[in-house]
Structure 1
Amino acid sequence: MSYAELKRELKRGEVHPLYLLYGTEDYLIEDVLEEITASVLDEDEKDFNLSRYDMRETPVDAALDEGETLPFFGERRLVIARNASFLTGQKDTEKIEHDLERLKNYTASPPPETVMIITAPYEKLDERKKVVKQLKSHAAVLQAAPLEGGELAKWIDTYVKEKNIAIAAEARQQLAERFANDLMQLASELDKLCLYAGDDGTITSEAVELLAPKTLEDNVFHLVDLIAKEKVKEALQTMYDLLKQNEEPVKLTALIARQFRMMLQAKELGRRGYSEQKIAGVVKVHPYAVKVARKQSQNFSEKGLQAILKELAVLDETLKTGRMEKELALELFVTQIPHLKKEA
Structure 2
Amino acid sequence: MTYSEFKSHLEKKQLSSSYLFVGSEDFLIDDCLKRIIDQVVDPDTKDFNLDVFYGNEIDAGKILDTVNAYPMLSDSRLVVVKDFQKLPASGLDLLAKYLEKPVSSTKLVLTSPKIDLRNKAFSKIKSQSVYIEFKPLYDNEVPTWIQSYLKEKNLQISHEAGILIQARVGNNLHALVNELDKIILNLAGERKIEEADVQKVVGISRNFSVFNLNDAIGNRDLNKSLTILNLMLESGESPTGIVAMITRHFVNLLKVKGAMTLKKSQNEITGLTGIPPFFIRKSKEMASNYSTPQFQHIFGSLLQADLILKTSQQSRKIALQTLLIKIINDVGTDINIKSLIS
Q: Hey, what does 1:156 align to over in structure 2? A: 146
Q: Hey, what does 2:10 align to over in structure 1? A: 10
Give the TM-score normalised by structure 1: 0.63
Pairing of 1:313-324 with structure 2 (within 5 A): none
Change (3 A) 1:107 1:155: same
Residue of structure 1 aligned with 2:128, choices 138, 146, 161: 138
Pairing of 1:129-208 with structure 2 (within 5 A): 129-148=119-138, 151-208=141-198
Change (3 A) 1:121 1:178: farther
Q: Deviations over 1:160-219 (max 9, x none)?
A: 112121110122223344445311111222212222234342111222233223334236
Give the TM-score normalised by structure 2: 0.63
Residue of structure 1 aligned with 2:235, choices 226, 232, 242: 242
Alpha-carbon distance, 1:83 to partner: 0.9
Letter of the 1:28 partner, please give it: L
Which deviates more, 53-62 or 205-214? 205-214
Residues 139, 171 of structure 2: 8 Å contact kept = no
Q: Secondary structure at the match of 2:186?
A: helix
Distance 2:196 2:153 in 1: 20
Residues 16, 107 of structure 2: 8 Å contact kept = yes
Letter of the 1:167 partner, please give it: I
Q: Is the counterpart of residue 118 in structure 1 residue 113 in structure 2?
A: no
Larger Rg: 2
Distance 2:29 2:71 in 1: 24
Alpha-carbon distance, 1:10 to partner: 1.6
Q: Hey, what does 1:47 align to over in structure 2? A: 47
Q: Deviations over 1:225-271 (max 9, x none)?
A: 7999xxxxxx9998785369xxxxxxxxxxx9xxx8xx99xx79x99
Residues 223, 238 of structure 1: 8 Å contact kept = no
Distance 2:113 2:216 in 1: 37
Pairing of 1:275-290 with structure 2 (within 5 A): none
Alpha-carbon distance, 1:222 to partner: 6.1
Q: Hey, what does 1:26 align to over in structure 2? A: 26
Change (3 A) 1:48 1:239: closer
Change (3 A) 1:159 1:46: same
Alignment coverage as a number of residue pairs: 267
Question: Unaligned stretches of 5+ in structure 1?
Answer: 87-91, 229-234, 245-255, 274-281, 285-289, 300-340
Residue of structure 1 aligned with 2:97, choices 102, 105, 124: 105
Which deviates more, 161-170 or 176-185? 176-185
Question: Unaligned stretches of 5+ in structure 2?
Answer: 219-227, 238-244, 267-276, 291-338
Letter of the 2:9 partner, please give it: E
Q: Secondary structure at the match of 2:179?
A: helix
Q: Secondary structure at the match of 1:197?
A: coil
Q: Hey, what does 1:57 align to over in structure 2? A: 57
Question: Pairwise CA RMSD of aligned residues?
Answer: 4.4
Change (3 A) 1:292 1:210: farther
